[in-house]
Amino acid sequence: MNQLLNKSQIPRGKVPTPESGIEIKKTVCDICNPNSHCGIDAYVKDGVVIKVEGSEENPHSGGTLCSKGAASRQYIYHQDRLLKPMVRTGDRGSDEFEPISWDDALDMIGEKFNTIKSESGPEAVGYFVGYPKWMRPYVKRLAHSFGSPNYMTESSTCFSATLMAAKLNYGCFGPPDVANTNCLLVWSANPFYSNTSTVRRLLDAIENGLKIIEVGPFTTPLSRHADIHLRLRPGTSGALALGIANVMIEQNLYAREFVDKWTTGFDAYAAYAKEFTPEKTEAITGVPAEDIIAAARMYATTKPAAMMTSASPTVHHTNASQNHRAIVALVGLTGNFDEKGGNHVCPPGYNEINNGIKMREGEFTQSRPWADMAPRVGLDAHPVWCKQIPQANAMHLPFQINSQQPYPIRALMGFGLNFNMWPGSDYMADALTKLDFLVDVDLFMTPTAKMADLVLPACTSFERSEFKLYTERFGMYTEPVIQPLGESRPDTDIIFDLAKRLAPEDPLLKTDYETCIDWMLEPQGLKVADIRKHDGGCTLEGVNPPPYRKYEKNGFPTPSGKMEFASSQLADEGYDALPVYTEPKYSPISTPELAESFPLILNTGSRLPMYVHSRTFRLPWTRALRPDPLVDINPEDAEARGLSDGDPITLSTPKGSISFKAHLTELAPPGVVSVYHGLPGAEINNIIEPDYRDPISGFPGFKSLLCQIKKESR
Amino acid sequence: MATRYFILGNGGAALHGIRALRIAGFTGEVHQISDDRGPAFNPMVAPYFLSGKVGWETCFPFGEAFYQTYQIERHEAETVVSLDARSRQITTSIGGTFDYDKCLIATGARPVMPPVPGLQDSRFALSLREPETALNMVTPLQNAEKVLILGASFVGIKLAEVFLKKGIKVVLVDIAPQIMPQGALPEAAKHVETLLRQKGIDVRLGVAMKKVEDTADGAICHFPDGSIETVDCIAVSAGIKPNLDFLDPEQVRINRAICTNDRMQTSDNSIYAAGDVCEALNRLTNSQQWMGTWGNACYQGRVAGQNMAGQYAEYTGAIPQHVSPIFNWTYMQIGDALRQGPGVQQEFKGDPFTGDNSFTIRVFENDVLVGANLINAATELAGIKMEIISGIEAARHTTSEESYQRGA
Amino acid sequence: MTQLTFSFDVNRCSGCLACIVACQDQNDFVSETVAFRQVTSYEERFLTKSRISFLSLSCLHCGDAPCVMVCPTGAIFKNSEGVVDLNRELCIGCHTCELTCSFGAPKFAEDGRMIKCDFCHDRVEYGLKPACVRVCPTKALGFGPLKDISKEKTKEASTKILKSLLATEPSKQP
């Protein structure tokens, strides 16, 4: 990257004066999840980005960036950026590739996929999108227009299970109204590291007296602000939620009127919650009884109160679906559902940003009804999840590839595919080798890309346009701030070109990105051109926040029309209707013999500020912030094993072992260790069993496993 | 008559004293007597000028305008021959006598000439302390084939590097059994010695030169074992001694250098001393020590000037410390690393030739950190400094009477 | 001379480390481990709970900067805004400033000369913020004239103290 900078030509301080030749161009960072995507001021000189800053006028991010966004230049200009389409010449996984032209590559895909379609049906071709998510609606439409129901995303291991669980209760859900609440129950979330774009508002609210109840095994930057920290054993959230409900019901602190009028199944729920006395809940969760009572009282009696959950931690357990139902049930139980200062429901907007905008995304993406296509991957295994989430279940994919039941999967079109996101990643990697044809679109030659037959270079957000919405009823249509590097292309260009070969009849995919968005925007009466002319974005005209208590007008979008403490949809499929608590599949309570050899509870994948999934490890600036593969371990547990900070260790699960270094910290409670996922050379998901998953959602139990740690002699 | 203050010397201590005097509002006469002409010279910079890193002007950090800015009456190229504290009179080499109200002695130090027969008068012997002698090294740097550096002090090692990098053969000699004999532990010195040898410097330790003979081709240096080296230049870097011969020890107390209190006064109230000519508080040992560094000189001069102007300023002392960049290494010493005794323990870590190339020796006395040597370990310096200082604070709290008396 | 200063709110800093990378992005160091900002964490345990705090530290642009005093060539100086700045052409790379600074502010570049935080003073003069202050997601970092920052902090602290003295509810757990 340094070669791009002629240092002598960079003005002092990179100050953008008229004479300096530096232009500030607006774009967004899309390294992490759509809830951030901070606005960026790119300092461009002679066609090269020489510095990045956050855009101050962006109402969402307000000028901030995290360490990853601040390292954007090392991302954009990394020496390993894929610059040409590549076709495999050696054996699969041998990393022997040679360049191929875009047309030849796209024709090859068209030919292969259409052949497989004619031989085995369109469902034999899967379409997968990892990160970023900006092009997802177009991949989904392409898949269905091609005829395949198998549109899958990494949401099969992220927020979709929390959404499913919430929808089983309420039919819909909403984020906490932080600006107007007086008490925030933060359940397994670390917004300081997962969503830096708005965390300043949380801090302001805290300084103004907002009460915080934090639930989570680990100490986080939030803990110093928490009035109460419920430091529970991983995987026991369901029990804790029921314990809190117990207190509210016993002490008659719950929202009687809402419960009487707008819920079903309360009596059965209350009877079940009766078992979870503070003492019993303490025994299960490890949280002191007096803290449970205090938290329950605070959340129930402070009005209004809101609940903040995160996309995945509460559903990364083998018992997660019911756990999360129990958690979010507390919102309704306290009468904070769709309330000002509570959790405010916003109808779906576009690409996971719900800000009140009316767009036809569902209609656009579901270009063919499910009934007209073969059953989705995972429909048989996870019917409840499939009913709530309009995708195929990616966690089930390697199983279907192997079993070929109910039909074989023969090809996969991947955008940012990463087999390390699957539990038992070697199982997924092995499944990929069984495919007849694998295509991966990415910015780098990742381990997954190395296994593909065709690798196509995508470009970063700096090198293309994007339609981006924010919850503040703000919208942007970005322009590229620099030319795409090499022959890399915007993902949507690739998709539309694929459509010519794979779904030539589709009227909308015949057009282009902007036209499709205009089509989706039609109900709102806006056009891309209106938004595009505002460099850096604009407030969206005619977009208003939805009213509160919409259920009073429309009921709840559930079978009963009410909030369901007991879910009929679960009962229909043979699961417990109530949010019944069960132990994680491996735990000191459920598998005590196993816990003798593997006495430590293993949590994986909790957020670090400098990494997000497998991204940013190759950026020197972010990598230097935490270069070694570490296990966070409490000093007590370390001492018992003769470990000092930095000692080489082996972490073992029933499936296998990996080498790490010990990081002694009080952030981890005694008895629990934490490992980040995606660490190059130390991929923790490899030593998790591929079927260590929640049966209802199919989600991996990433956050409650068992392991042992031993000092390694090196 | 107007108040007359005399500043003796033209170095860091003198000039900071002058500046502090004027900034504090002293409006009387300020006279300066020095044996040189022109702006103040910092000998520390000379090796870097010789290596070509900076220009000649950079050796004069205060510049030429200083004296006019601070309204100094200069008496250049005059040496103080005697100072009579009773009559408050200074006599100089050209026979002038001056009366002073207050005086700041900042005459610095001069190079020690080891008593090697023939060395003092050799026309090939040069030292770095004065601008002229430093400039005189420029020619040997361009033309010499071989030089001998007498004294493996920090300055000597720096000069060795300068000459070596010009492609000149270097013989580095010291009478001590190790290089860096002031403050470096033998193990640390050994590592640096290895580095110097690796670079091709001919290091000869424990050697007392027998004599020096000038010839037309160069200086013949005679070694105790009978061998000789013919060199184009002998750089003398065998230490310095304070310039205080003009003082009467009956009038002004002198130890290894002029004794001062925490206001930089000598035993005579009207006479202050600062810089390489004086001793001052070593905070680590809580005793007076001669610690001649540019930084200490500047601070001491400033304190003296403030006090002379009637303000109250206290010199809170210094902890002995030194840093030398040597080739691509950085060597640091801090505190009292050479401490010995029953309660003293040394902790070694690392190896400058392997791994991350860092090496430290921490020296503890009764489990309190008192000193350290560091090679390529600057990241550990702050922690070591803090630990040494907190050790001092802890010690202070245990001595009650002494601290009451000192008013600490 | 106005004295510029950084301000830091330990209650807001989350240890996200963005300030370090923003400094690197601004200054284009050759090595990725060099930055003018360091962030240190401090953990405290209270029975079954714990707390973590962070400190982000750069050059403090000391009022009576020791590095300015001890620099043998006068290469280090305080500019008109109290920023401790460096004229690299005068730097001989003697490391005396590194030895003297208690905060580890002086670093050294490939040319052997010193480099250090210069408060992004070229940007500040133009009305922009230092890179670290600009990036901070929690607004823990700030900057401004020392007098103004001092006043603000006094006011904030007094208000907090008054609020806690007048409060009837128990304060937050440690």
- Contact across the interface for C94 and B325, Cβ inside 8 Å: yes
Rounded to a whole number, what is the distance in angstroms from the first to the last CA of chain C?
Answer: 41
| Residue C92, min C-alpha distance to chain A (Å) | 22
User: What residues does C143 pair with on adjacent strands?
Assistant: C6
**Which stretches of chain B score pLDDT less than 50?**
399, 403-408
Question: Per residue in C11-48, pLDDT tens?
Answer: 999 999 999 999 999 999 888 888 999 999 999 998 88
Q: Is A276 a domain residue?
A: yes
Of B48, B324, B334, the CB nearest to C92: B48
Q: State the average pLDDT over residues A246-266.
A: 98
Residue A380 lies in a domain: yes
Give residue C173's pLDDT: 47
Partners of C20 on chain A (C-beta within 8 Å) are 67, 621, 625
Instruction: Mark whether A508 and A359 lie in a shared domain.
Output: yes
Put simply, whether C38 touches B (Cβ < 8 Å) is no
**Which of A539, A558, A575 marks a domain boundary?**
A539
* Record: contact C73-B45, CB cut-off 8 A: yes
For residue C74 the two structure tokens come to 């006068």
C14 and A193: CB-CB below 8 Å?
Answer: yes
Shared domain for A668 and A618, answered yes or no, is yes
Q: Taking the CB of residue A197, how many other CB atoms lie within 10 A of it?
A: 26
Residue C174, pLDDT above cutoff 90: no
**What is the second-level CATH architecture of the domain C4-147?**
2-Layer Sandwich (3.30)
The per-residue pLDDT for range A172-205, each reduced to its tens digit, is 999 999 999 999 999 999 999 999 999 999 999 9
Which amino acid is present at B31?
A: H
Tell me, yes or no, whether A196 and A149 share the same domain. no
pLDDT of residue B396: 66
Name the percent of chain A lying above pLDDT 90: 96
Please give the backbone phi and psi of residue A453, each rounded to the nearest 5 degrees, phi first. -85, -30
pLDDT for A152 beyond 50: yes
Is the CB of residue A608 less than 8 Å away from at least one CB of chain C? no
Task: Name the nearest CA neighbour of A217 among A593, A667, A696, A633.
Answer: A667
Q: Distance of alpha carbon B210 from its chain centroid, rounded?
A: 27
A226 interface with C at CB cutoff 8 Å: yes
Do A478 and A449 reside in the same domain of the chain?
Answer: yes
pLDDT at B168: 96
For residue A197, what are the domain limits? Answer: 174-344
Same domain membership, residue A134 and residue A199:
no
Interface with chain C: mutation pick from B45, B50, B283, highest number of C CBs within 10 Å: B45
What are the backbone dihedrals phi and psi of residue C43, each rounded to the nearest 5 degrees, phi first? Answer: -105, 145
CB contact under 8 A, A224 and C51: yes
Q: Which of B53, B327, B375, B387 to mutate to test the interface with C (most CBs of C within 10 A)?
A: B53
**Summary mean pLDDT of chain A:** 96
A460 — alpha (psi -120 to 50), left (phi > 0) or beta?
Answer: beta
B267, B252 in Cβ contact below 8 A? yes
SS3 A494: helix
Quote the minimal CA–CA distance from C124 to chain A in Å.
Answer: 9
Is C122 within 8 Å of A12 when comparing Cβ atoms? yes
**Cα first-last separation, chain A:** 36
Task: Give the model confidence (pLDDT) of C66-111 as tens digits.
Answer: 999 999 999 999 999 999 999 999 999 999 999 999 899 999 999 9
Structural domains of chain A, count = 4
Distance of CA B169 to the CA centre of its chain: 27
Identify whether residues A312 and A213 lie together within a single domain: yes
Long-range contacts of B282-287 (CB under 8 A, 24+ apart): B282/B317, B282/B318, B282/B319, B282/B320, B283/B316, B283/B317, B283/B318, B283/B319, B283/B389, B283/B392, B284/B319, B284/B320, B284/B335, B284/B336, B284/B370, B284/B371, B284/B388, B284/B392, B285/B336, B286/B392, B286/B395, B286/B402
Is C49 within 8 Å of chain A by CB? yes
Instruction: Look at residues A312, A344, A376 and tell me which one is the last residue of a structural domain.
Output: A344
How far apart are the C-alpha atoms of B364 and B347, rounded to whole Å?
A: 8
- Dihedral pair phi/psi, residue A441, rounded to 5°: -105, 130
Q: CB of B39 within 8 A of CB of B59?
A: no
Determine, for residues C21 and A621 on separate chains, whether the beta-carbon distance falls below 8 Å: yes
Average pLDDT, chain C: 93
Task: Give partners of A (≥3 CB pairs < 8 A).
Answer: C
In a domain, A98, yes or no: no
Q: Does residue A62 form part of some domain?
A: yes
pLDDT for position A340: 97
Please identify, among A51, A76, A101, the residue that sits at the C-terminal boundary of a domain: A76
CATH of the domain at A621: 2.40.40.20
Q: Are chains B and A in contact at 3+ CB pairs closer than 8 Å?
A: no
Q: Is C42 on the interface with B (CB under 8 A)?
A: no
**Contact state of A621 with C138 under an 8 Å Cβ cutoff:** no
Q: How far apart are CA B52 and CA A594, in angstroms?
A: 70
Asked whether residue A605 is assigned to any structural domain, the reply reads yes
Nearest-neighbour CA in chain A from C131: distance (Å)? 8
Sign of the torsion angle spanned by Cα atoms A153, A159, A165, A168: negative
Residues of chain B with Cβ-Cβ distance to C98 below 8 Å are 323, 330, 378, 381
Q: Which residue of B has its CA nearest to C73?
A: B61
Whether C50 sits inside 8 A of A666 (CB atoms) is yes
**A:13-32 residues touching chain C, CB 8 A cutoff:** 13-15, 17
Q: Give every CB contact of residue C156 below 8 A, 6+ residues apart in sequence.
A: none
**Closest by Cα among A96, A156, A101, A99 to A126:** A156
Q: CA–CA separation, B336 vs B347, rounded Å? A: 14
Indicate which CATH number applies to the domain containing A64: 3.30.200.210
Cβ contacts of A221 on chain C, cutoff 8 Å: 13-15, 52, 54
Q: What is the mean pLDDT of residues A248-260?
A: 98
Instruction: Indicate the SS3 state at residue B176.
Output: coil
Tokens of B358: 């860092």
Residue A103: pLDDT band with limits 50, 70, 90? very high
Residues A368, A305: one domain? no
* A206 & A322 share domain: yes
| Strands, sheet with A97-99, edge to edge from the N-terminal-most edge strand | A97-99, A86-88, A454-457, A437-442, A411-415, A125-129, A151-153
Touching subunits of C (3+ CB pairs, under 8 Å) are A, B
Q: How confident is the model at residue C50 (pLDDT cuts 50, 70, 90)?
A: very high
Look at residue A335 and tell me if it is in a domain: yes
- Between CA A142 and CA A506 the distance in angstroms is 9
State residue B406's pLDDT score: 45
Chain B residue with CA closest to C112: the answer is B328
Q: Does residue A701 belong to any structural domain of this protein?
A: yes
pTM listed for this prediction? 0.94
Both A270 and A220 in a single domain?
yes
CB pairs under 8 A between A and C: 139
Tell me the per-residue pLDDT of A205-250, one tens digit each, with 9 for 90 and over.
Answer: 999 999 999 999 999 999 999 999 999 999 999 999 999 999 999 9
A545, A346 contact by CB (below 8 A): yes
Rounded Cα gap, residues A56 and A500, in angstroms? 41
pLDDT digits (tens, 9 = 90+) for A545-576: 999 999 999 999 999 999 999 999 999 999 99
> Could you tell me if residue A31 is inside a domain?
yes
DSSP string, A15-83: ---GGGTEEEEEEE--SS-TTT--EEEEEEETTEEEEEEE-TT-TTTTT---HHHHTHHHHHT-TTB--
Q: Verify whether the Cβ–Cβ distance A219 to C135 is below 8 Å.
A: no
Q: Which residues of A touch C14 (CB under 8 A)?
A: 192-193, 199, 221, 609
* Cβ–Cβ below 8 Å for C103 and B382: yes
Whether chain A has a CB inside 8 Å of the CB on C126: the answer is yes
Provide the pLDDT for residue C163. 84
Across the interface, do C48 and A288 touch by the CB < 8 Å criterion? yes
Q: Same domain, yes or no, for A289 and A251?
A: yes
Q: Does A186 touch chain C (CB under 8 A)?
A: no
What would the pLDDT profile of A46-74 be if each residue is shown by its tens digit? 999 999 999 999 999 999 999 999 999 99
In which band, very low, low, confident or very high, does the pLDDT at C171 lie, cut at 50, 70 and 90?
low
Beta-carbon separation of C70 and B323 below 8 A: no
CATH code of the domain in which A527 resides: 3.40.50.740
Measured between CB atoms, does C156 come within 8 Å of chain A?
Answer: no
Same domain, yes or no: A422 and A515: yes
Half-sphere exposure of A501 (CA within 13 A, CB side): 18
DSSP SS3 for B217: coil
Tell me: pLDDT of A317 over 70: yes
Residue A238 has a pLDDT of: 98
State the pLDDT at residue A5: 56
If pLDDT is split at 50, 70 and 90, which confidence band does A149 have? very high
Cα radius of gyration (chain C): 18
pLDDT computed for residue B398 by the predictor:
57
Taking CB atoms and an 8 Å cutoff, what residues of chain C touch A7? 28
Q: Where are the beta strands (DSSP E) in A166-323?
A: 183-187, 211-215, 228-230, 263-264, 305-309
Chain B residues in contact with C93 (beta carbon < 8 A): 48, 53, 325
* CB pair distance less than 8 Å for B321 and C99: yes
List chain C domain ranges: 4-147
Residue A264: predicted pLDDT: 98
- CA angle, residues C150, C151, C152, in degrees to nearest 5: 95
A666 close contact with C: CB closer than 8 A? yes
